[in-house]
């Protein structure tokens, strides 16, 4: 029986990849976390439920994203894939869906592999697999005796606004603050708060969002609107608060509940920013971080 290798992300050391095959001309694109969790991972799970692939097949993704798959299918990172003998394997390359080149024709990619998504895909089995995330143990309870707020601080966004946000949280809530950022060295240099925990590992960040095996909880999650923040749609049980900075999709404001509901009722690629695995997800979007700072007391 021919085994499949399903590539959901394929990235070189310079963070970009060139992909060329029979159904798409060459494109250079970054492997976006938001695209992977909301679209490519959905396609993979749908393929699994339709028996287009099996749990004995292999998924390829970036090393820090393996935990999103390891609970329900074999998984390897890009480096392992590039060094393995691929003889006898059928390669299903979905990485263009994950890529930053949004106008790519996703349906043509799927039809290239003789596969169509189910018309009604958001079943209980589908939802169960979405929630199959391999969290890691945290030592938070041994060190602290408070619930906490998680902040996703994207790249090197405005540090002064972040300081004001933390000060406002500290003045209105009796919590610790956990911040996820890819450059915690920069934050360690600029942030001096006693109740602050800095995290740069994606799996640890997801585990804090989920409060995995903790008696203390994530009461509130705050993030710039982005894929890194939207990982919370599958992990976080508290209130989810977004603000706009890089992206300016202001028309989402006031439509959060409608779009979250529609995202799971329409086809797999519509309203994809709002995909989620919870029936009662609580998403709120604000124009700016200043609006959140001004209203933080109402989120308690």
CATH number at residue 216: 3.40.50.2000
More confident residue, 178 or 121: 178
Query: Does residue 18 carry a pLDDT above 60?
Result: no
Is the domain of 214 the same as that of 286? yes
Mean pLDDT of 274-298: 93
Say how many residues make up the chain.
300
Q: Is residue 135 part of a domain?
A: no
Per the structure, the complete domain to which residue 52 belongs is given by 3-130
Query: Does residue 16 carry a pLDDT above 90?
Result: no
Of 283, 223, 237, nearest to 257 (Cα)? Answer: 283
Is the domain of 270 the same as that of 251? yes
Is the domain of 58 the same as that of 125? yes
Is the domain of 146 the same as that of 290? yes
Is the domain of 154 the same as that of 124? no
pLDDT over 90 for what percent of the chain? 71
Overall domain count for the chain: 2
Q: How far apart are the C-alpha atoms of 7 and 164, rounded to whole Å?
A: 41
> In this structure, which long-range contacts are made by residues 251-260, counting pairs with CB atoms below 8 Å and at least 24 apart in sequence?
252/225, 252/285, 253/285, 253/286, 253/287, 256/283, 256/284, 256/285, 257/283
Mean pLDDT of 233-237: 96
Q: Which of 98, 130, 162 marks a domain boundary? A: 130
Question: Could you give the count of Cα atoms lying within 13 Å of 270 in the half-sphere of its Cβ?
Answer: 12
3-class DSSP state for residue 97? helix
Q: Residue 131 has what pLDDT?
A: 96
Looking at residue 133, what DSSP letter applies?
-
Q: How far apart are the C-alpha atoms of 11 and 160, rounded to whole Å?
A: 33
More confident residue, 156 or 198: 198
Query: Does residue 255 carry a pLDDT above 80?
Result: yes
The model's confidence at residue 183, banded by pLDDT at 50, 70 and 90, is confident
pLDDT per residue as tens digits for the range 60-70? 999 999 999 99
Burial class (CB in 10 A: 0-12, 13-18, 19+), 77: middle
Mean pLDDT of 125-131: 95
Is the domain of 7 the same as that of 122? yes
Query: Does residue 182 carry a pLDDT above 70?
Result: yes
Is the domain of 194 the same as that of 274? yes
pLDDT over 70 for what percent of the chain? 91
More confident residue, 114 or 190: 190
């Amino acid at each position: 029986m021919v085994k499949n290798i399903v590539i959901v992300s394929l990235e070189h050391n310079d963070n970009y990849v060139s992909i060329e095959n029979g159904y798409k001309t060459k494109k250079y694109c970054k492997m976006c976390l938001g695209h992977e969790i909301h679209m490519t991972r959905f396609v993979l799970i749908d393929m699994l439920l339709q028996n287009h692939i099996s749990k004995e097949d292999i998924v390829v993704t970036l090393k820090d994203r393996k935990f999103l798959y390891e609970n329900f299918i074999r998984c390897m990172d890009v480096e392992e894939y590039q060094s393995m003998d691929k003889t006898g394997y059928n390669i299903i390359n979905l990485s263009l869906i994950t890529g930053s080149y949004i106008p790519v024709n996703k349906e043509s990619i799927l039809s290239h592999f003789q596969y169509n998504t189910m018309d009604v895909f958001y079943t209980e089995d589908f939802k169960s697999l979405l929630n199959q995330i391999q969290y890691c143990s945290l030592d938070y309870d041994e060190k602290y005796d408070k619930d906490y707020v998680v902040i996703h601080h994207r790249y090197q966004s405005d540090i002064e606004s972040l300081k004001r946000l933390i000060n406002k949280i500290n003045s209105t809530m009796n919590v610790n603050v956990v911040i996820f950022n890819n450059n915690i060295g920069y934050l360690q240099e600029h942030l001096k708060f006693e109740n602050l925990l800095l995290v740069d590992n994606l799996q640890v960040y997801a585990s804090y969002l989920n409060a995995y095996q903790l008696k203390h909880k994530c009461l509130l999650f705050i993030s710039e609107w982005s894929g890194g923040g939207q990982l919370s749609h599958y992990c976080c049980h508290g209130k989810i608060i977004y603000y706009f900075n890089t992206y300016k999709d202001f028309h989402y404001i006031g439509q959060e509940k409608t779009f979250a509901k529609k995202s799971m009722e329409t086809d797999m690629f519509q309203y994809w920013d709002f995909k989620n695995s919870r029936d009662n997800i609580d998403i709120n979007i604000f124009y700016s971080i200043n609006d959140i700072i001004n209203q933080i007391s109402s989120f308690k």
